[in-house]
């Protein structure tokens, strides 16, 4: 008499007491969301306001006019642009911070690379004096 393979196993996957990784009837855990960094960029419409103000002022000045109060459209654009100053200040600060961080990372990467090359040269037994002469082109 032959028995099925599952009958010979000491345990069965069909057993109701078998523990599952995820209980039946529940959803799998959600994938963690990616951390969203704050964005301080101006929306296109607000960038357009700044650009339009600049162009309008240039046109008025090109006509020889210095008194912008005579142009209600310029005053309206100026008021809109003036309201963007806090966001522009935060954006400028954020850009400066990012620039400093990138420079620091670049500096660290150069130091690590220099250390790595120095270790490889030392392990190869090459004289640093020889290398400096080679790089300068001297003998």
Spatial distance between the Cα atoms of 103 and 80, rounded to a whole number of angstroms: 35
User: What was the pLDDT predicted at 107?
Assistant: 97
Spatial distance between the Cα atoms of 129 and 135, rounded to a whole number of angstroms: 10
Token pair for residue 135? 């790089």
Alpha helix ranges (H) inside 63-84: 72-82
Which residue's entry shows tokens 């357009």? 48
Mean pLDDT over residues 24-36, rounded? 63
Q: Where exactly are the structural domains of the chain? A: 44-127
Under the banding of pLDDT at 50, 70 and 90, the label for residue 40 is: confident
pTM: 0.49
Alpha helix ranges (H) inside the chain: 5-8, 44-62, 72-82, 85-124, 128-136
Q: Does residue 81 register a pLDDT over 60?
A: yes
Q: Does residue 116 register a pLDDT over 90?
A: yes
Question: Do 68 and 78 form a contact (C-beta atoms < 8 A)?
Answer: yes
């Amino acid at each position: 008499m032959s028995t099925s393979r599952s009958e010979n196993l000491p345990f069965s996957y069909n057993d109701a007491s078998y523990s599952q990784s995820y209980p039946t009837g529940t959803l799998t855990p959600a994938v963690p969301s990616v951390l969203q960094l704050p964005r301080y960029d101006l929306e296109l419409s607000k960038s357009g306001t700044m650009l339009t103000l600049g162009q309008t002022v240039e046109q008025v000045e090109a006509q020889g006019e210095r008194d912008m109060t005579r142009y209600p459209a310029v005053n309206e654009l100026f008021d809109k642009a003036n309201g963007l100053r806090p966001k522009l200040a935060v954006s400028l600060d954020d850009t400066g911070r990012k620039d400093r961080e990138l420079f620091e990372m670049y500096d660290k990467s150069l130091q690590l690379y220099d250390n790595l090359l120095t270790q490889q040269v030392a392990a190869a037994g090459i004289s640093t004096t020889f290398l400096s002469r080679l790089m300068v082109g001297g003998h």
